[in-house]
Structure 1
Amino acid sequence: MAWIILLAASAVEIAMGLALKYAEGWTRLMPSVIGVTAALASIYLLTIAMRELPAGTAYVAWTGVGSVGITVLGIVLFGDPVSWLRLVCIAMIIVAVIGLRFLEA
């Protein structure tokens, strides 16, 4: 169950990243409020997951999934740059998170 909560925390972190992009440097109220609220919700869910998971494993997975998610959405939604090296780095993050999942005991 802790891993499901951790994935939810990462999904909310991705929502935070999108909201902050749309906030345009805190100049738009609603995206700014959504971003801060999502950040707090994400951290709350992370702390719940950390009750059962090692702190380092949970934190790395949380940031890794969030980073990959917002990077992919940046490519799709905002035309962020994409290169084979960038995709390799994203793949390495995914492999690392999966590795931590199966090494966590």
Structure 2
Amino acid sequence: MAWVYLVVAGLLEAVWAAALEASRGFSRLVPSIVFVVALVLSMLGLAIALRDLPLGTGYAVWVGIGAVGTVIYGVVALQEPLGVARMACLLAIVAGVVGLRLVGGGH
């Protein structure tokens, strides 16, 4: 169950990052509220997951999921470029996250 909390927390990290950008420096109310709610829930999910997972593994996976999710959001919603080199780097992050899941221990 810790891995489920961790994956959801990582996805929420991408949500709060996108909401932070959309808030325009906290000058827009709704994205600012989404940011705060997603941030709190993301941290809560990470904290719960870390009850059963090693800190290094949990944090690295959380960051990796959030980073890849944020880039995907940027490419799809904000028309950020996605070249071959950028795609290779994202695949390296995904491979690292999967690798940590396979060898990272925990429940």
Provide the TM-score with structure 1 as the length reference: 0.96
CA distance, structure 1, for counterparts of residue 104 and residue 31 of structure 2: 36
5+ residue gaps, structure 2: none
Between the aligned residues of both structures, percent identity stands at: 38
CA distance, structure 2, for counterparts of residue 79 and residue 25 of structure 1: 20
Give 1:24 shift: 1.2
Give 1:92 shift: 0.2
Cα root mean square deviation, aligned: 0.8
Q: Secondary structure at the match of 2:101?
A: helix
| Deviations 1:19-42, CA, capped at 9 Å, x for gaps | 112111211011112101211110
Q: Which residue number in structure 2 is paired with residue 25 of structure 1?
A: 25
Provide the TM-score with structure 2 as the length reference: 0.94
CA distance, structure 2, for counterparts of residue 79 and residue 7 of structure 1: 25
Q: Which residue number in structure 1 is paired with residue 94 of structure 2?
A: 94
> RCO higher in 1 or 2 (8 Å CA, sep ≥ 6)?
2
Q: Which residue number in structure 1 is paired with residue 53 of structure 2?
A: 53
5+ residue gaps, structure 1: none
| Deviations 1:45-90, CA, capped at 9 Å, x for gaps | 1000000000000000000001001101100100112111000000
Give 1:14 shift: 1.4
Q: Secondary structure at the match of 2:24?
A: coil
Q: Which residue number in structure 2 is paired with residue 7 of structure 1?
A: 7
CA distance, structure 2, for counterparts of residue 58 and residue 86 of structure 1: 24
